[in-house]
C-alpha cells in the first residue's frame, strides 16, 4: 500500500481508538522507563567499577611505631609477591589528606579525625583484583600489620544496592511488559473489530496480508514510539534533577554520564517500537483473519 492511504488508515484507527491507544502509551512508557532505569543502574555499577579499578585495591594498614627497617622489609616482601604489581607507601599525613579528599562531602566526619588517628599504610596494586582475598589472607596478622583491607569488599553493600535495584527495575519492567502486551492485545482486538468492514473489503479486493495488517502494526509501533519517547524524557529529567542535581553532591563516586543516558535511550526506543510491533503481530494472528 502507498504511504498516503496507509497513514490515512492509521489516522482513522487512532482517532477511533484514542483512549485505548493512550492507555497503551502510558503502560509502555512506564515499562520502558523502568527498563531504562535498570540500564542506567547497570551503567552506574560499571562506572564505579572502572573508577575503582584505577584505584589501589588493597590497603595494608601498619601498626603505629613500626620501625623503618621492618617497614622496608615488609615492602620488599610485598613487592616480591607475584600477585602484587605495585607497592606505594603513604604516611599518616598522606593518608589523612586522602581521607579529607574522599570525605570532602562530609565535613563533620573530617572534623572529628586527625592525622594521628589514621594508620600509615601500603597501598597495593594487584595484577588481578580478584586475588585480593588471597593477599588479605596472607598478610593479615603479620608483625607490624594492623589490618589488610580490600577496598572492593568494603563496597559490597554498594554493589548489592546497585544490583538489587537493577534487578528490581528489570523485574518491574517485565511485569509492565506483560501488562503492555495484554493492553496491546486488547487494543488490536478493539481496533480490528472497529475496522472489520475495511479489512473485509481489503481481503475481498485482493489486498495482501501485509497491507491489511500494516495499519494495525503501525498503530502499535507508534504507541511504542510515543511511550519510548516519554520514557526517554523521564530518564533525561532523572539525570538532570536527580543524578546531577542531588546525588552528585552526596557521593564521592563518579556518576554515569550523558553517554549512558543516550545509550539507554536508544535501547529503550528500539525495544519499545519493535516489541510493540511484535506484540501487535501476535495479537493480529488471533484477531484478524487474513
Partner 1 sequence: MIRLASVTKRYGVGGRPALHGVTAQIDAGEFVFLVGPSGSGKSTLLRLLIREERASEGLVEVAGRDVARIADRRVPLLRRTVGCVFQDFRLLPDRTVAGNVAFALDVVGRPRHVVRSVVPEVLELVGLTGKEKRFPDELSGGEQQRVAIARAFVGRPLILLADEPTGNLDPATSAEIMDLLDDINQAGTTVLMATHNAGLVDAMRRRVLELDAGILVRDEHRGGYDAPATVAVSATVAVSATVPASAAPATVAAAPGLPGVPGVSGISGVPAQRAPSAGGFVGRPAEPVGLVGPAEPEGPVGLPGEGAA
DSSP character for 114?
A: -
Least distance to partner 1 from the beta carbon of 203, Å? Answer: 7
* Comparison of 197 and 249: residue with beta carbon closer to partner 1: 197
Nearest to 139 by CA among 65, 69, 87: 87
Site string for partner 1, 256-285 (x = CB under 8 A): ------------------------------
Which of 55, 88, 106, 209 binds partner 1 (CB under 8 A)? It is 209
Q: Does 211 bind partner 1 (CB under 8 A)?
A: yes
Beta strands in the chain, from DSSP E residues, in sequence order: 58-62, 84-90, 121-126, 145-150
* Comparison of 4 and 157: residue with beta carbon closer to partner 1: 4
Q: Are strands 58-62 and 84-90 parallel, antiparallel or unpaired?
A: unpaired
61 near 147, Cβ under 8 Å? yes
With a CB cutoff of 8 Å and minimum separation 6, the contacts of 125 are 56, 57, 84, 85, 86, 87
* Comparison of 179 and 194: residue with beta carbon closer to partner 1: 194
Nearest to 247 by CA among 48, 31, 32: 48
Residues 177-206 that bind partner 1 (CB under 8 A): 197-198, 200-206
Q: Does 212 bind partner 1 (CB under 8 A)?
A: yes
Least distance to partner 1 from the beta carbon of 204, Å? Answer: 5
Beta bridge partners of 62: 145
Beta bridge partners of 86: 125
Using CB under 8 A as the binding criterion, the count of chain residues that bind partner 1 stands at: 19
Site residues (vs partner 1, CB under 8 A)? 1-2, 4-5, 12, 197-198, 200-209, 211-212
Amino acid at each position: 500500500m502507498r504511504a498516503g492511504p496507509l497513514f490515512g488508515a492509521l489516522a482513522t484507527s487512532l482517532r477511533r481508538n484514542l483512549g485505548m491507544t493512550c492507555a497503551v502509551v502510558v503502560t509502555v512508557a512506564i515499562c520502558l522507563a523502568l527498563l531504562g532505569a535498570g540500564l542506567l543502574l547497570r551503567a552506574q555499577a560499571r562506572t564505579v567499577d572502572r573508577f575503582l579499578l584505577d584505584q589501589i585495591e588493597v590497603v595494608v594498614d601498619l601498626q603505629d611505631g613500626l620501625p623503618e627497617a621492618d617497614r622496608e622489609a615488609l615492602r620488599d616482601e610485598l613487592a616480591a609477591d607475584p600477585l602484587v604489581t605495585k607497592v606505594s607507601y603513604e604516611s599518616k599525613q598522606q593518608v589523612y589528606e586522602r581521607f579529607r579528599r574522599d570525605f570532602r562531602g562530609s565535613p563533620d566526619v573530617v572534623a572529628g579525625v586527625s592525622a594521628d588517628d589514621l594508620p600509615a599504610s601500603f597501598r597495593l596494586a594487584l595484577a588481578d583484583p580478584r586475588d585480593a582475598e588471597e593477599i588479605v589472607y596472607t598478610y593479615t596478622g603479620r608483625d607490624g600489620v594492623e589490618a589488610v583491607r580490600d577496598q572492593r569488599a568494603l563496597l559490597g553493600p554498594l554493589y548489592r544496592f546497585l544490583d538489587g535495584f537493577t534487578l528490581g527495575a528489570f523485574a518491574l519492567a517485565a511485569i509492565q511488559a506483560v501488562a503492555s502486551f495484554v493492553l496491546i492485545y486488547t487494543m488490536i482486538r478493539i481496533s480490528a473489530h472497529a475496522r472489520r468492514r475495511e479489512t473485509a473489503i481489503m481481503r475481498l479486493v485482493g489486498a495482501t496480508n501485509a497491507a491489511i495488517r500494516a495499519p494495525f502494526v503501525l498503530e502499535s509501533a507508534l504507541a511504542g514510539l510515543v511511550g519510548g519517547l516519554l520514557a526517554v524524557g523521564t530518564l533525561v529529567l532523572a539525570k538532570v534533577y536527580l543524578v546531577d542535581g542531588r546525588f552528585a553532591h552526596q557521593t564521592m563516586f563518579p556518576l554515569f554520564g550523558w553517554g549512558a543516558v543516550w545509550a539507554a535511550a536508544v535501547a529503550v526506543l528500539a525495544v519499545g517500537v519493535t516489541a510493540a510491533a511484535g506484540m501487535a503481530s501476535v495479537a493480529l494472528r488471533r484477531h484478524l483473519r487474513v
